[in-house]
């Protein structure tokens, strides 16, 4: 929850276009710490990108947006083909990046795309990669799986929040938070942690965390925190879920 222009914006999702580990890398590839900007029509958006290869050789990465709550957002779909570099960032409104390395490997430029349109980006290599990889999610238990609904009361206004918990490949939990009153804006959850009746969600796209407990009533009672803001948030089964036997 973040106050912008005199109003509360759920989850700080003001990006329409848009934990640290040293990893194996080689100078001839795009591994490294990159800093630069996206040139969107009315202003420049500063970004920092870290790209590296894990000990097993898989490409991993994270991205932060300057002056926003999007910090160490994990990258997905990283593809390296010669000088071509492609990846996507799990921001509110998913953004994809399609670029090329310069001949000397010192810069990376191309086009950033989202539902809002396209814009050029330019990055400069600035040291070694320091990729922050989110902790792995827990296995999803049946008592948490499904659709949930809740509300946040802040600044005298009530705003609806939805949560969808579903199993990924292998049964691990994955989740999406939805700001219903902001056009059903989807906020990806980086890590889902479940231990007994305890649920924790980390949403790096907005630097937000939710901690709650599943009670005997079947509700998840907890708190949403983002920066200095902390507000109660109780999730109840979605209307369709509540009708299931």
Question: What's the CA gap between 25 and 54, in Å, rounded?
Answer: 8
What pLDDT digit, counting tens, does each position of 54-75 carry?
Answer: 999 999 999 999 999 999 999 9
Close Cβ partners of 6 (under 8 Å, ≥ 6 residues apart): none
1 assigned to some structural domain: no
Q: Does 159 lie in the same domain as 73?
A: no
Which residues span the domain enclosing 203?
A: 146-242
15 assigned to some structural domain: no
- Statement: residue 25 has pLDDT above 80: no
76 assigned to some structural domain: yes
9 assigned to some structural domain: no
Q: Does 99 lie in the same domain as 167?
A: no
pLDDT score of 11: 39
SS3 10: helix
42 assigned to some structural domain: yes
In the listed set 70, 100, 132, which residue is the last one of a domain according to the structure?
Answer: 132
11 assigned to some structural domain: no
Per the structure, the count of domains in the chain is: 2
CB burial readout 111-125, b (16+ within 10 A) else e: ebbbeeeebebbbeb
Question: What's the CA gap between 105 and 181, in Å, rounded?
Answer: 44
Q: Does 177 lie in the same domain as 93?
A: no
Q: 6: number of CA atoms within 13 Å, CB side?
A: 0
Q: Does 159 lie in the same domain as 75?
A: no
C-alpha R_g of the chain: 19
Q: Does 151 lie in the same domain as 236?
A: yes
Q: Does 164 lie in the same domain as 92?
A: no
Question: What's the CA gap between 173 and 188, in Å, rounded?
Answer: 12
Q: Does 163 lie in the same domain as 122?
A: no
- The domain that contains 43 carries what CATH number? 2.40.128.120
pTM more than 0.85: no
Tokens read off for 66:
């300057």
What pLDDT digit, counting tens, does each position of 163-210 carry?
Answer: 999 999 899 999 999 999 989 999 999 999 999 999 999 999 999 999
Share of the chain above pLDDT 70, in %: 86
Q: Does 121 lie in the same domain as 49?
A: yes
Q: Does 128 lie in the same domain as 36?
A: yes
């Amino acid at each position: 929850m973040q106050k912008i222009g005199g109003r509360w914006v759920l989850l700080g999702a003001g990006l329409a276009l848009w934990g640290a580990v040293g990893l194996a890398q080689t100078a001839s590839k795009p591994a490294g710490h990159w800093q630069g900007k996206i040139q969107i029509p009315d202003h420049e958006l500063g970004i920092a990108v870290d790209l590296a290869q894990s000990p097993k050789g898989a490409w991993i990465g994270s991205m932060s947006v300057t002056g926003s709550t999007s910090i160490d957002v994990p990258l997905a779909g990283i593809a390296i083909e010669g000088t071509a570099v492609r990846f996507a960032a799990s921001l509110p409104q998913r953004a994809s990046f399609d670029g090329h390395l310069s001949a000397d490997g010192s810069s990376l430029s191309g086009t950033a795309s989202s539902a809002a349109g396209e814009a050029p980006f330019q990055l400069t290599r600035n040291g070694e990669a320091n990729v922050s990889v989110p902790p792995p999610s827990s296995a999803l238990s049946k008592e948490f799986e499904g659709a949930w609904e809740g509300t946040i009361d802040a600044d005298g206004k009530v705003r609806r929040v939805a949560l969808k918990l579903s199993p990924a490949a292998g049964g691990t939990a994955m989740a999406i938070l939805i700001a219903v009153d902001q056009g059903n804006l989807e906020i990806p959850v980086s890590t889902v942690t479940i231990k007994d009746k305890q649920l924790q969600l980390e949403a790096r796209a907005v630097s937000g965390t939710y901690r709650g407990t599943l009670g005997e009533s079947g509700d998840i009672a907890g708190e949403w925190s983002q920066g200095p803001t902390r507000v109660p948030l109780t999730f109840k089964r979605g209307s369709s879920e509540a009708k299931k036997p």
